[in-house]
């Protein structure tokens, strides 16, 4: 079976054939005709991936009071800013800064450099809401929000959504971090063994999207 995956940000996909062979090997084992090559187009789902995959693997950004030199423009009126970076692949030179502003006695805010340009003013605002939480017998507050990043160029955008959250628990293991996980994926369909199957491609932050994990559903696509 010959398969070719068409998708942005992936240069090699090594696992798709293994997954496909497991599903279709029995049906094609006795065939004397070489299956025709197929091209699988994977389409971006910008948000909602966590509802489909039913799991997430968070990454974390360390937050410090020191402003990075790569930040060019900040919002006005910051009270007590903490700076960090979301480590995710984008255009050459892009750095996705985050700023958690946490002044005493005022609402906390979160700002994100949505295109990695160093400008934290030109992106969409982040809805940043806190609620009580308990974690490992520690009682405090957790803040949650959604951020949108453009992983493509200005003239060829590739916008994706991440879920972000931050704890305030008087716990040094988590209080100095901003946690985030992807809420996007790419998906498509493949004909294997005479049946059509759904394919979901889950990215991995640390590989800079060079390798992909391909999941083929246990049952044919409906």
**Whole-number percent of the chain with pLDDT over 90:** 46
Has residue 53 been placed in a domain? no
Has residue 51 been placed in a domain? no
Q: What backbone torsions phi and psi does residue 155 show, to the nearest 5 degrees?
A: -90, 0
Q: What backbone torsions phi and psi does residue 118 show, to the nearest 5 degrees?
A: 95, 0
Average of pLDDT values for 206-218?
Answer: 41
Instruction: Please give the tally of structural domains in the chain.
Output: 2
Q: Does residue 137 share a domain with residue 86?
A: yes
Q: Does residue 97 share a domain with residue 32?
A: no
Q: What backbone torsions phi and psi does residue 37 show, to the nearest 5 degrees?
A: -65, 145
Has residue 92 been placed in a domain? yes
pLDDT in tens, 74-94: 999 999 999 999 999 899 999
pLDDT in tens, 105-126: 999 999 999 999 999 999 888 9
Res 110: pLDDT: 97
Res 87: pLDDT: 93
Average of pLDDT values for 52-66?
Answer: 87
Q: Does residue 172 share a domain with residue 68?
A: yes
Long-range contacts of 173-176 (CB under 8 A, 24+ apart): 174/135, 176/62, 176/63, 176/64
pLDDT of 210 strictly over 60: no
- Are the CB atoms for 197 and 221 separated by under 8 Å? yes
119-147: b or e for each residue (b if 16 or more CB lie within 10 Å)?
Answer: ebeebeebebeeeebeeeeeebebbbbeb
- Pairing type for strands 3-6 and 138-150 reads unpaired
Res 188: pLDDT: 84
Q: Does residue 206 share a domain with residue 139?
A: no
pLDDT of 197 strictly over 60: yes
pLDDT in tens, 1-39: 443 434 443 333 333 433 444 445 444 545 556 666 777
Question: Model confidence at 40, in pLDDT bands (50, 70, 90)?
Answer: confident
Question: Model confidence at 220, in pLDDT bands (50, 70, 90)?
Answer: low
Q: Does residue 188 share a domain with residue 178?
A: no
Give the pTM: 0.75
Q: Does residue 191 share a domain with residue 149?
A: no
Q: Does residue 105 share a domain with residue 199?
A: no
Query: What is the spatial distance between Cα 212 and Cα 202, in angstroms, rounded to a whole number?
Result: 6
Long-range contacts of 174-177 (CB under 8 A, 24+ apart): 174/135, 176/62, 176/63, 176/64, 177/60, 177/61, 177/62, 177/63, 177/84
Residues in Cβ contact with 135 at an 8 Å cutoff, skipping those fewer than 6 apart: 142, 167, 169, 171, 174
Has residue 160 been placed in a domain? yes
Q: Does residue 199 share a domain with residue 178?
A: no
Average of pLDDT values for 174-202?
Answer: 84
pLDDT in tens, 128-175: 999 999 887 889 999 999 999 999 988 899 999 999 999 998 888 899
Question: Model confidence at 222, in pLDDT bands (50, 70, 90)?
Answer: low
Tell me the residue range of the domain where 103 lies: 59-182
Q: Does residue 193 share a domain with residue 172?
A: no
């Amino acid at each position: 079976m010959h398969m070719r995956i068409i998708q942005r940000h992936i240069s090699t996909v090594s696992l798709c054939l293994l997954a496909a062979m497991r599903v279709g090997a029995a049906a094609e084992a006795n065939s004397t005709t070489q299956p025709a090559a197929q091209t699988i187009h994977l389409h971006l789902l910008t948000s909602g991936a966590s509802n489909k995959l039913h799991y997430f693997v968070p990454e974390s950004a360390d937050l410090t009071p020191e402003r990075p030199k790569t930040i060019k423009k900040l919002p006005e009126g910051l009270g007590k800013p903490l700076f960090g970076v979301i480590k995710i692949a984008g255009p050459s030179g892009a750095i996705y800064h985050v700023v958690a502003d946490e002044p005493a006695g005022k609402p906390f805010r979160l700002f994100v450099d949505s295109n990695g340009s160093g400008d934290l003013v030109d992106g969409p605002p982040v809805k940043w809401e806190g609620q009580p939480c308990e974690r490992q017998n520690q009682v405090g507050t957790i803040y949650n929000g959604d951020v949108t990043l453009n992983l493509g160029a200005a003239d060829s955008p590739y916008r994706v959504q991440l879920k972000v959250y931050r704890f305030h628990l008087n716990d040094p293991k988590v209080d100095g971090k901003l946690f985030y996980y992807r809420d996007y994926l790419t998906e498509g369909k493949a004909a294997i063994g005479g049946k059509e199957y759904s394919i979901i491609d889950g990215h991995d932050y640390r590989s800079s999207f060079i390798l992909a994990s391909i999941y083929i559903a246990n049952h044919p696509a409906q």
